Every structure is written in C-alpha cells, then in structure tokens.
C-alpha cells in the first residue's frame, strides 16, 4: 500500500534556462559608457518634450488698459513731448540720389522736429503710441530688366520708344538711332541662339551688354530730370517706362558728379571699393562714344575738359585685377 504522499501528484521540476548568463559590465568598459550615454539622451528628450507641452499650453494674457489718472497723465506727457520737442538746427542735402551738377544744400533752420503721432486704443491692450519721423525721401528710377533673353529685346525697345521725342527725357535723335542699332544687333544674336551653334552665346551676351549700358544712360537722364523737378519726379520717371522706388534717406556715398569752382571742371565721387581696385572714369557728350578720363586708386577724381553750359554723361566702374564691375552712370549739367 502506498502512502498518501506517494499517491499525490509529483512536484514540479524547475526548468533550467537555456539563456546564457548576462555578462558583467565593468564600470570603465565601453559597453557601460554607451549605456550611460543612452540614459542621458533619454533624459534630454524627456525634458525637451515636457518643455514643449508647457509651451503649447501657454495662453496669451493681454495687459489691462491704462485708465484713470494714470492714463490721462500718460496721454498728456506724449502730447507735450510732440509740441515741445527739441529744435533741429542740422543741415541736410535737398537732393540726395543725384543732382544737376550743383552742390545744392537746404538749411532747415530753427524749426520744430516734425513727428507724426498716432495713438491707437486697442481693446484689452491699452494705448499704443506710434511715432513716424518725417525724413527726406529719395526718389530713385529703376530698370528692372527681365531675366529671360527672349523678353529683353521687347523690353528695351519699349523704353527706347518711350524716351523718343519725350519732353521729360530729352535725348538727341542720333543717340536714339545708335541705341536702336545696338538693339537690332542683339535681336539678331538672340535669334541665332536657336540654331544651337557653339560660340553664339558670348556674341549674344556682348550684344546685350551694349543695350544694357544704353538703358542705363537713358535712366541717368530720367533721374537727373526728376531731381531737377521734385514735384513731378515720379511722372518724369514713369514717362520713360522706368520704375520708381521711394525710400528714406540713408547715410552713404553714392556715385555723384558736381561742378567745381573752375568752369568746365567736374568733381566725381564714387562708392568705396577694395584697396587693390582701380577706379575707371569716362565721359560722353552724346551717350554713345565715351572718352576715358583716367584711372585712380582713390574713389574720387577732379577732371577738366567739359564744355561749359552743356549736358554730359559720366560713368564709373572698378577694375580688380582685370575683373570689371558694372558701369554706373550720371547725367550732369556743366556750368
């Protein structure tokens, strides 16, 4: 007879795991360093996510409006600041972008500074004060040449036609004829590009460079006439199909040509450039043929030989070891 213990179910035998024992990692081993680095990255991500959650749940709470005695005092201070501002006795140029060849300077005198004050009472935000100082505005003529060579021909022809017999932009008929000849050469060069023959591209580019210089010469005339007539400056520029840009006066040194005390002598100033650059100067009486005035290391030159009581073009560019910049044009009246 078997006992009760022997009749009971056999005990469960513990299974032996087939997995290999974990390898002990020393404190200075590479595996331990990688594990520590992973934990650090995990902590950074957790902190970053918690910060984003706080930022997403942030709600803007506008400041309460200023009212009562405090608001009245603030308004009174702003008004008194405008009417009893410091008087301005500075000297500012009347024409900044270009002049007609004369150093015209307008003295402001003892006048109050013009400040435009705009007080806006927004809901739940109090009073907002906007001060807009009245500074000199520069009216500048722009070309805005299209990028596509297929459009450049028609674009240039429209500007030449607009300046022909234009009382606001007076150009000699011989100059217009020469400009049309340059444009015709460019159109032929652009048409030859469709054949795919090698060597046509530089011919087309050189032909367009002449046309672009002609457009800059027309633009200089429009700019000079606009400077002489500030009240109709925009109309003069737009009559030649040029674009107008108005911007506040900024300190700088634009390309400028003015008369000196000696008749027939002009003083030229250009923007600064690298010390290794040469400044190249040329003049023209018809806008077609330009005569060299010389090269200087300084960005200024006094040159004679101009015909008094006449109009002339002066252009400037830099030469840095054979690399030339684009021409800058100025149209001036010689005294």
pLDDT single digits (tens) 154-183? 999 999 999 999 999 999 999 999 999 999
Helices (H) and strands (E) in the chain, counts: 7, 16
- Give 307-329 pLDDT, tens digit per residue: 999 999 999 999 999 999 999 99
Closest CA to 218 of 271, 310, 145, 138: 145
List pLDDT tens digits, range 2-54: 554 555 555 555 555 555 555 555 556 676 777 777 666 665 665 555 555 55
Please give the CATH topology (third level) of the domain spanning 252-335: Immunoglobulin-like (2.60.40)
List CB contacts of 51: < 8 A, sequence separation 6 or more. none
Domain boundaries, the chain: 252-335
At 33 the pLDDT is: 73
Does residue 79 contact residue 139 with C-beta atoms inside 8 Å?
A: no
- Cβ atoms within 10 Å of 264's Cβ, excluding its own: 16
pTM equals 0.60
State the average pLDDT over residues 60-83.
Answer: 61
* Residue bearing the bigger pLDDT, 8 or 147: 147
């Amino acid at each position: 007879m078997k006992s009760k213990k022997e009749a009971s179910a056999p005990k469960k035998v513990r299974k032996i795991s087939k997995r290999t024992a974990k390898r002990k990692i020393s404190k200075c081993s590479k595996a331990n360093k990688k594990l520590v680095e992973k934990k650090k990255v995990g902590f950074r991500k957790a902190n970053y996510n918690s910060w984003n959650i706080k930022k997403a749940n942030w709600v803007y709470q506008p400041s309460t409006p200023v009212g009562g005695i405090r608001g009245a005092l603030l308004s009174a201070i702003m008004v008194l600041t405008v009417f009893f501002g410091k008087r301005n006795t500075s000297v500012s140029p009347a024409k900044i972008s270009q002049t007609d060849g004369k150093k015209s300077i307008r003295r402001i005198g003892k006048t109050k500074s013009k400040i435009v004050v705009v007080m806006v009472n927004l809901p739940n935000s109090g009073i907002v004060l906007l001060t807009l100082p009245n500074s000199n505005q520069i009216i500048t003529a722009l070309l805005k040449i299209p990028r596509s060579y297929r459009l450049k021909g028609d674009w240039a022809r429209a500007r030449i036609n607009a300046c022909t017999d234009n009382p606001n932009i007076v150009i000699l008929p011989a100059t217009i004829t020469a400009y049309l000849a340059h444009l015709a050469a460019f159109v032929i060069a652009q048409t030859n590009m469709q054949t795919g023959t090698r060597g046509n591209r530089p011919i087309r580019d050189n032909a367009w460079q002449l046309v672009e210089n002609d457009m800059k010469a027309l633009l200089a005339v429009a700019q000079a006439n606009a400077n002489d007539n500030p009240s109709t400056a925009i109309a003069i520029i737009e009559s030649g199909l040029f674009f107008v840009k108005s911007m506040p006066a900024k300190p700088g040194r634009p390309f400028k040509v003015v008369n000196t005390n000696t008749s027939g002598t002009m003083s030229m100033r250009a923007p600064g450039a690298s010390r290794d650059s040469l400044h190249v100067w040329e003049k023209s009486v018809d806008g077609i043929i330009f005569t060299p005035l010389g090269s200087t290391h300084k960005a200024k030159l006094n040159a004679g030989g101009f015909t008094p009581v006449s109009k002339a073009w002066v252009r400037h560019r830099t030469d840095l070891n054979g690399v030339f910049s684009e021409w800058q044009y100025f149209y001036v009246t010689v005294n």
